[in-house]
Amino acid sequence: MSDTVDALIEELREEATRDRPAEDTPEIGIVMGSDSDLDVMAGSESGRPGAYDALTDELGFEEQTSYDDPPEARFTFETFVVSAHRTPELMYAYAETAEDRGLDVIIAGAGGKSADLPNMTASIAYPLPVIGVPVQEKSVDSVIGMPQGAPLTAVDAGKSFNAALSAVQYLARQHGALRDRLVDYHEGLQDGVAEVSRDLHELGTPAFKTRDE
């Protein structure tokens, strides 16, 4: 195991022993098997939005990059690359220490046919809830294939945005402010559908189809 991996594991384990206020620790952890998964897990300008976009743009979270200098936002998340196959010791340390480091829920994404990170993270972090994200279609069977007694919630391939919404739904049971943010987001979706419906009706189909040209 490399010195860099050793150092990161030690940082995670040291943080797990510290007594920090809940508001200074991230509520959500986002992990992925490779930085090549980042466009799916975070979101891409050229693709669909991801978990990062849902949390920051829609629900008012901030990304926490230092426990010693937390963001001003009350609700935060952290992001790591943790490979189940290349750095299994790091994956184990991350999941094993997650609850003691203040996390309430983990979003874990992995690609390929052997997308084991969500499953293994869920097993090690239990009873902390884990939401699995298959980064690709071929990853779905691997992510959802947990045996009875080893729970893992999962979203459809590539939909880390939905994973973030689900994570905040868990948190909203204890935090009324997050419930309100979820309701506001959903009402915004409803307003968008209503506006499109009205425009289609009032403009008529041909004009509606060319309205942005």
CB 168 within 8 A of CB 178: yes
| Whole-number Cα distances in Å, 37 to 30, 73, 123, 171 | 11, 26, 22, 25
Mean pLDDT throughout 145-170? 95
pLDDT of 46 reads 77
Residue 86 annotated in ligand binding: yes
Mean pLDDT throughout 156-179? 97
Q: What confidence tens digit (pLDDT) does each residue in 6-46 have?
A: 999 999 999 999 999 999 999 999 999 999 999 999 998 77
Question: Which tokens belong to 124?
Answer: 């090690």
State the CB neighbour count (10 A cutoff) for residue 206: 8
pLDDT of 176 reads 97
pLDDT of 213 reads 75
pLDDT of 58 reads 97
Mean pLDDT throughout 57-64? 97
pLDDT of 45 reads 75
CB 67 within 8 A of CB 24: yes
Residue 1, pLDDT above cutoff 80: no
Q: What confidence tens digit (pLDDT) does each residue in 173-204 have?
A: 999 999 999 999 999 999 999 999 999 999 99
CB 132 within 8 A of CB 143: yes
Residue 212, pLDDT above cutoff 90: no
pLDDT of 63 reads 98
Q: What confidence tens digit (pLDDT) does each residue in 93-139 have?
A: 999 999 999 999 999 999 998 899 999 999 999 999 999 999 999 99
Q: What is the DSSP letter of 86?
A: T
pLDDT of 44 reads 83
Provide CATH code, domain 3-174: 3.40.50.1970
pLDDT of 6 reads 95
pLDDT of 130 reads 98
Q: In the structure, what pLDDT confidence band is assigned to residue 171 with cuts at 50, 70 and 90? A: very high
Question: Which tokens belong to 72?
Answer: 């001003």
